[in-house]
Amino acid sequence: MRKQLEHLMTMAERPSVEVQVIPDAAGAHAGLAGSFVLFGFPNPSFSEVVCVEHRTGTLYMETPEETGEYTLIFDSLRSIALSPRDSLDLIAKVRQEL
């Protein structure tokens, strides 16, 4: 686990990567319903895509209603997460304690 935490800290140094941790103290939140990936593209002619993996496959959603719902969830999760700096401090602390 130490190596995994080190890897997160290394990746967070990249300009295109931002790591944020949702602390246990945040309690129940929308992210507990399952993971997803929200893809956005710089070219406005490409719509956002949400990818949800489940037991028997992967679901890709592209309608504005679907992607809009996941955008709200993503924004909600970012708002309850620690800042990138505080997240890295927590990761370093947990790594040190292992």
Task: Please name the amino acid found at residue 44.
Answer: P
Query: Low-confidence residues of the chain, pLDDT below 70?
Result: none
| pLDDT value at residue 45 | 86
The per-residue pLDDT for 52 is 96
pLDDT of residue 93: 96
Per-residue model confidence (pLDDT) at position 39: 94
Q: How many CB atoms lie within 10 A of CB 70?
A: 19
Specify burial of residue 54 (Cβ count, 10 A radius: 0-12, 13-18, 19+).
exposed
- Report pTM: 0.82
